[in-house]
Amino acid sequence: MANAQAVTDQDFATEIEGHEGLAMVDFWATWCAPCRMIAPIVEQLAADYEGKVKVAKLDVDSNQQTAMKFNVRSIPTILFFKGGKLVDQVVGAVPKTALEAKFAQHAD
């Protein structure tokens, strides 16, 4: 994870819910094949939108409390937060364009 920031149960409230702008969080696990498929897309988005969108990843195996809080039942699930509030979600491995469309939809 070079570009996307790792978040945990301990720092989620500060890093994501306390973030003023748009944030995208990829809920994933190491054993999840679709998660591994979209990982390079998430990294690319983190690089492409650096300074515009906060891109983070949360390992659901290590951080079950946050996954349960947001009712994440299947992975990958990507949640979008704006001003600290949940505004959208995408479930499953989707193309980069689908995630970029969400960025555009929720941009200021």
Catalytic residue list: 32, 35
CA dist., res. 106 & res. 18, Å (int): 17
Centroid of chain to Cα 3: 12
Per DSSP, 108 falls in state: -
